[in-house]
Amino acid sequence: MNQQEIAQQKLVEIFSHFDKPSKFSKGLFIFLILIILFAFYAFILQVTRGQIVTGMRDYVIWGIYEVNFIFFIGISYAGAMISGILHLLHVEWRKPIIRIAEMITVISVLIGPIYVLLSMGRMDRFLHIFEYGRIQSPIVWDVIAIITYLFCSILFLYLALIRDYALIRDNQVLKISSFRKKIYRKLAATYHEIPLQKKLLNRCLSTMSAIIIPLAVIVHSVLAWIFGMTIRPGWHSTIFAPYFVIAAVFSGTAVLIIAMWVFRKYYHLEEYITEKHFKYIGFILLVLAGLYGYFTFSEYLTVWYGSETWELEVIYKLFDFSDYGAWFYLAAFVGVLVPMLFTGIPFLRNINTITIGSVVAVICMWIKRYLIIVPTLETPLLPNQDYRPEYVHYHATWVEWSLTAGGIALFLLFFMLFIRFMPIIPVADISEVPENKDFISEKL
C-alpha cells in the first residue's frame, strides 16, 4: 500500500467515529441553542434599555464582559502557541492534537470580540473606530492586532486542512452528499500531493506558525496594555504584558487538555490521542503553571512591599477574606498548585487527573481576570463616596451572566459545527512516515 492508500483508509476509519450525530450530541445541540436564544433575549434587552440592565456603573465601568473577552482571547493561545511552537520544532507527537488546538484558537478569537461589543455603550457606532480611529489609543492597537490574529489563525487552520480536504475529495468509499463534496472540492484548492505543492504548503505552514507566535504575544500584550497604560493601582505595572501572555498560554493549554479529553472520550479517539499526549502537554502545563505562579508572586510582592497607599488599598481588598480574599487565594494558590501536583507527581498523573487539573486552572484563570478588573475599578484614586450601593460594589446581573453562558454555549456549538466539516485528526499528517528530522542540525 502506498501512502495515499493508507491515508484513505485512516480517513474512512476516523470518519466512522463521527458518522452520525449521537442522541447525546443532538440533545446537547438543542440545549446550546436554547442557551444562546436566552442570551439573545438578554442582548436585546441590553440594546433597548441600555447598559443600565448590567451591573456596571460609573466606577466599575467594565465587568464580566471584559473578563470573558480576556478569557477567550487567552484560550486562543492553545492553537497559536502550542501548535505553532510544536510545528516549528517538528515535534512528531503534536500531529493528532494540533487540529483541536487550532480550532480552539479560531473559535475563541471569533467569540472574544463579541464581548468587546457588548461592553461598548454604542455598539452601533463600532465603525467609528475605522472612520475616526486614532493610533494613539491602545484600543485601536487591539482592534488591529485582533483582526490580524483572527485572519492569520483562520489561514493557519485552513492551510493545515488542505491536504485533508484533498483526501476527502479523492475518496470513493465515504458517503458524502454531493453538495458537501462540492464544498470540499473547492476547499481542497487543486491540491494533489505533487512534491512541489507539498513543499510549498509546508513552507507556508512553517511561515504561518512563525508568524502566529509573535502575533499571539502581541495580541495579549496589547490587551494587557489597555489596563497597564492607565495610572491605576493594580493595573499600572510594567510586567502586565508578559504576565497576561503567560496567563493566556496557561489557560489555553488547559483548555486544549480538556478538549482532548472530551474528544477522546466521546468520539473514541483513544488510538490517536494517547496518554502520552496528556503527559507531554501536561508537562507544558506544569511549566506554565510555575511561570504563572512566579509572575503572580513577583507582581504582588513588589506592590505589597512598596506599600504605596493606593496600591495597598487594592492589595488588601485582594488579601482580605471579607472582600476578595477567598477568590484571590483560590486563583493564586489552588489554580496553580492543583495543576502542578497532578502533572508533576508521577503517581498522581494520569489522563483524568491532568484533565481535572486543567479544569481547575481554567476556572481559576477566569476568576483571576475578574480579580484584575473589578477590584481595581472599585478602588479609584479619589475615594468612592457614592451613596448608591450599586455604584460602590459591582455585581454582575443575570443579563451579563446569561450572555456569558451564551458565549460558552456558542463556543461549544461552533465546535460541533466545525467537526462536521473538518477532520478533527489531521489524517494526511498522521499517515505520513515520521520525519525523524532534527530541526536544529538540519538548519545548521
Partner 1 sequence: MKNNLSSRRKFLKLGIAAGATALIGGGSVLSAISKVNNPAGGDKVKMLSPDGKLMEVDRGHALCCGVPTSKEVRKGIPGRHFVMVIDLSKCRNARKCVSACSKMHFLQPGQEYIKVFLMQDSEDTSPYWFPKPCFHCDAPACVNVCPVGATFKREDGVVLIDNERCIGCKFCMAACPYSSRVFNWKKPGLKPESNYSPESSVPQKIGTVGKCDFCPDLFASGTLPDCVTACPNGVYYFGDKNEDVVTNGVESLRFSELVKSKAAYRYMEELGTRPNVYYLPPVDRSFPYERGFEELPEEMKKAYKVKRAHLKKFKI
Q: Is 52 in the site for partner 1 (CB under 8 A)?
A: yes
321 scored as a contact of partner 1 (CB under 8 A): no
Cβ contact 109:153 at 8 Å: yes
What CA–CA distance (Å, rounded) separates 197 from 191? 7
- Give whichever of 51 and 251 is closer to partner 1, judged by the CB atom: 51
- Looking only at residues 252 through 281 of this chain, which bind partner 1 when binding is defined by CB under 8 A? none
Is the distance from CB of 145 to CB of 219 less than 8 angstroms? yes
- As measured in angstroms, the least distance from the Cβ of 166 to partner 1 is 43
Rounded-to-5 percentages of helix, strand, coil across the chain: 75, 0, 25
The minimum distance between CB 237 and partner 1, in angstroms, equals 15
Query: With CB under 8 A, what is the number of residues at the site for partner 1?
Result: 53
Interhelix angle 3-17/138-170, nearest 10 degrees: 110
Q: Indicate whether 153 belongs to the interface with partner 1 (CB under 8 A).
A: no
Q: Give the Å distances, CA to CA, from 8 to 247, 346, 420.
A: 40, 38, 18
Q: Which three cell numbers stand for residue 427?
A: 489524517
CA pair distance 277, 274, nearest whole angstrom: 5
305 contacts partner 1 (rule: CB under 8 A)? no
Nearer to partner 1, 92 or 323 (CB): 323
Residues 84-123, interacting with partner 1 (CB under 8 A): 119-123
**Would you say 221 and 194 are in contact if contact means Cβ atoms under 8 Å apart?**
no
Q: Which of 15, 29, 138, 265 binds partner 1 (CB under 8 A)?
A: 138
**306 forms part of the interface with partner 1 (CB under 8 A):** no
Read off the DSSP letter of residue 433.
Answer: P
The C-alpha atoms of residue 405 and residue 397 are separated, in whole angstroms, by: 12
Which residue in the set 21, 50, 214, 306 belongs to the binding site for partner 1 (CB under 8 A)? Answer: 50
By CB under 8 A, the residues from 220 to 249 that bind partner 1 are 226-227, 229-232
* 55-63, 91-99, 107-115, 419-427 -> range binding partner 1 (CB under 8 A): 55-63
Is the Cβ–Cβ distance between 184 and 169 less than 8 Å? yes
With contact defined as beta carbons under 8 Å apart, do 99 and 424 qualify?
Answer: yes
395 binds partner 1 (CB under 8 A): no
Eight-class DSSP state of 332: I
Work out how close the CB of 164 gets to partner 1 at its nearest, in angstroms, rounded to a whole number. 40
Return all residues near 222 (Cβ < 8 A) that are at least 6 apart: 138, 141, 142, 145
By CB under 8 A, the residues from 177 to 206 that bind partner 1 are none
Residue with Cβ nearer partner 1 (263 or 300) = 300
Residues binding partner 1 (CB under 8 A): 49-52, 56-59, 61-62, 119-123, 125-126, 128-129, 131-134, 136-140, 143, 226-227, 229-232, 307, 309, 312-313, 316-317, 320, 323, 377, 380-388
